Amino acid sequence: MESALGRGRRRLRVGYVLPRLVLLVFAVDLALRALPVTWLTYRPDEALRARPARGGGFAANRSLHYPRGYGDLAALANLPHRREYRPLRFTTDDLGFRNGSARGPVGAVLFGDSFAYGSGLDDGDTLSVQLGAALGCGVYNAAGAGARHASEILAVTRRIGLRRGLVIMERVERELRTVPDAPAVVAGALMGYDAPLRVRLASVGRRASSVLARAAGRLQREAELATALSPVRILTTRLHKALENEQVLPNSYAHNAVMGTLRNGDWMLFYPDELEADEDDSAPATAYWTSLARELRAHGLELIVLLVPDKHTVYHELLRTPLAPATRPGQRMDRLEHALRAEGVAVVNLRSAFAAAVPALFARGEYLYWRDDTHWNPRGVHLAAAEIARAARAEAGRPLRPLPPCGSSTAGGRR
Amino acid sequence: MLFNSLPFLYGFLPVTYAVFWRLRSRTSRYAWLAVTGYVFYSFWNYKFCALMAFSTLVSYLAGLGFLRWDDRRRRRLCLVVPITLDLALLAFFKYTNFLLDSVRAAAPWLPLPVPAPLDIVLPVGISFYTFHTITYVVDAYRGVIRPTRNLFEFACYVSLFAQLVAGPIVRFRQIESDLDAIDRADRSSHLDRGWSFFAIGLVKKVLIADTIAAVIDPALAHPAELSTAGAWLCMLGYTFQLYFDFSGYSDMAVGLGHLFGLRLPQNFDSPYKAVDIADFWRRWHISLSTFLRDYLYVPLGGNRRRPLITYRNLFVTMLLGGLWHGASWTFVAWGAYHGLLLAAYRAAAPVWDRQPAWLRRAETFVLVVIGWVLFRSTDFGMAATLLARMFAPHGGTAVAGAEVLTVMVAVAGAVALLAPNTFELRHRWSPLPALAMAGLLVLSMLKIYGSGGTPFLYFQF
């Protein structure tokens, strides 16, 4: 029989201690997940996007308040001295979209990504709220869920009971490089080399491979999410970032943002993707939007495509030193705008309106985008809302039908 | 998947370990290790599993051929076919674009059309597992080993996850006895040694190599901005980063082997304590240098003929050893540099060996550091810039994190030059060192959490 001393000695052996220690760290990581998520995130949308409601973009029926939220670029590039703190409240409804609990008549619904749902903005400053005021009509914020296809859009409009009205789809300039409706490319390369050597799998094999790929994709997503939401990871990353202050260690996150200096001496951060050259053509994107507009029209919905310029497109002429080779940012938006108009699709290209507003604001040291963020600020949203309202009214009666009278449907009609 | 990653530590390793020790028969354990090897490999690119399976199958069949046939012609066929296929795969995936790029660079002088580079993905670990199969086939041909009839045993040997992607290059004869006794392996007898090796390797990689890399990588991205002191500091940092990264990986591999009852060979024997360049190569990446010696240098004639032929053999062996490391002329130059050093040492050994040991050690270390300039540089321009910065006084911008780098170089230098290496330790820890190791393990894990696992340098080869 093993003596207590023998057992004690065995328990101090590395072969006994170390594997248990690894499991203990794992257990601590799991246990810490019970902590409130606000404690670990710097912005409410970051916290609420992790586990969205089914069909929604965020967790349902939550209201988070961050008194010291700050810009994504300052966070991504680990630049704490560039943070511009602002209070942020983020409220979601029972469908998992960013709408207050009070529901009124809805005449329009807004789709898109972070610009549309209002990343970096307080509840009262989002585009849907500002647009509602400008249109005089309730605007439901359905952004953030990644809806791209008519079926996904119609699923939302059905749930909120909107049978006739406007669908506004926001797309930021840098996202135009990818065609939203591009079919998923089925990987045919068996060994990873070039097309001539590819082997076409039989259809059964393809189906099986597709099921496997979906399962593997889901597993990978879950694993990534589990890692992303790990409190130990978040806390140790913060510690790591604190050490990477260019004094103790170089800042390995710095490449996530590009710092520019404006002519008035103000700094401004840009997302590196904004600086890439603008080369591709707009034909596939035009086909996508045209087809989407046609499908929605068949269901009584009028599409307005909202093209939001990148921050660099708006401010590149005001930079002391250019950050990118001499190109004309915004060309892709202009090409797409003209192509869509030719196809009879309503489009609001904010580039000109922003370009016209910038000089006067710049003279006062005011901006349309947060300096520490890739997104627009309330001033930019306000201007965008005014432009959309103006375009909607101008288009009314031409290809667009008149705006539906507010009160014709309500956002609560689904239930 | 990396050894220094959370999915490996929390998922792959516990599952592989638990199932392995539940299985009782030899073949089921072989099969389990082979399957987990493929699962492990598929985390990089599952498509390349087919390539490894092909290489495995061809060499296995060649082994059966050696068992069946005695006539010289057929045995030669069993030798030549798998080696040719392995080298052809290696050449295609690793060197095709290198060749095309080199021809293109010479195109102005050649009246030939040069095809565009191919879109080839280099399969991780191909340089290692093809060498495994080559050693197996050659040793079977030479009669050094008796090939196995058990496909699972052979597949387990080739795809053993512990040594699959970055070695050590284990010869079949080195683990044959452990593989034969895999069903009788005693779990508890290997546990302490396995975890001790693994934890030491993890600490070497995560706390030392990765911390050094965090400072030197940004600095070496702009070599022309370095001062002379900065260039030396960065290259000393790289010297220790490479050693702690690769020897850390090797230690982890050895530790993982122990957890499954397999004793993998030593790959590093305190190489920076070497007193001459030949001694360095007896201590650095031992599994590669002995491979090059036994399967290239000796067949070329070794040192059995006149001195000039010996020098040529040394030079050619090291040149090809350099090329094995990567499809780049800087690696070829690095190999040539070491080939010349080895030839020069062979010629001047009587003079060299008369110097005091500390001086020989210091001189060898400096020569090795200079070689690492070629090894680290992405092109000859960078190598020339770095060497100019190191050997001609220059001012330059301060290296961000220079204080941390200095401390890390001092710590790493003390460990590499003064402390016993992992194979010299007894791995029987008294409570206090065991607790210290536990603390370092937790610190390493927190660092993995905070910065994510960074790939091992030798994965690229």
- Prediction pTM value: 0.82
* Spatial separation of the C-alpha atoms in residues B210 and B282, rounded to whole Å: 26
Q: Any catalytic annotation for residue B190?
A: no
- Please tell me if residue B442 touches chain A, with a CB cutoff of 8 Å: yes
pLDDT the model gives residue A191: 30
Asked if residues B195 and B255 have their Cβ atoms less than 8 Å apart, the reply is yes
Return the sign of the alpha-carbon dihedral for residues A88, A94, A97, A101: negative
CB contact under 8 Å between A252 and B48, yes or no, is: no
Asked if residues A268 and A84 have their Cβ atoms less than 8 Å apart, the reply is no
Q: Which of B46, B195, B256, B406 to mutate to test the interface with A (most CBs of A within 10 A)?
A: B195
**ipTM of model over 0.90:** no
Query: pLDDT digit string (tens) for B355-391?
Result: 999 999 999 999 999 999 999 999 999 999 999 999 9
Asked if residues A188 and A201 have their Cβ atoms less than 8 Å apart, the reply is yes
Query: pLDDT digit string (tens) for A9-44?
Result: 666 688 888 999 999 999 999 998 887 777 777 788
Contacts with B202 from chain A: Cβ below 8 Å: none
How many CB pairs below 8 Å do chains A and B form together?
A: 108
- Please tell me if residue A87 touches chain B, with a CB cutoff of 8 Å: no
Specify the 3-state DSSP secondary structure of A165.
strand
Catalytic residue among B132, B190, B285, B325: B325
Query: pLDDT digit string (tens) for B81-122?
Result: 999 999 999 889 888 888 888 888 777 776 667 777 777 777
* Spatial separation of the C-alpha atoms in residues B171 and B182, rounded to whole Å: 17
Of A250, A68, A88, A391, which Cα lies nearest the Cα of B403?
A250
CB contact under 8 Å between B48 and A191, yes or no, is: yes
* Spatial separation of the C-alpha atoms in residues A284 and A342, rounded to whole Å: 15
- Please tell me if residue B250 touches chain A, with a CB cutoff of 8 Å: no
pLDDT the model gives residue A227: 74
* Spatial separation of the C-alpha atoms in residues A259 and A136, rounded to whole Å: 39
Contacts with B450 from chain A: Cβ below 8 Å: 233, 236-237, 239-240
User: What is the arrangement of strands in the sheet containing A301-308, beginning at the earlier edge strand?
Assistant: A138-141, A106-111, A165-172, A301-308, A346-349
pLDDT the model gives residue A189: 27
Alpha-carbon B187 to chain mean position: 27
| Interfacial A residues in 26-45 facing B (CB < 8 Å) | 26, 29
pLDDT the model gives residue B97: 86
Query: pLDDT digit string (tens) for A141-152?
Result: 999 998 888 999
- Please tell me if residue A2 touches chain B, with a CB cutoff of 8 Å: no
* Spatial separation of the C-alpha atoms in residues B212 and B205, rounded to whole Å: 10
- Answer whether residue A402 shows pLDDT above 80: no
CB contact under 8 Å between A13 and B434, yes or no, is: yes
Q: Which of B6, B186, B207 to mutate to test the interface with A (most CBs of A within 10 A)?
A: B6
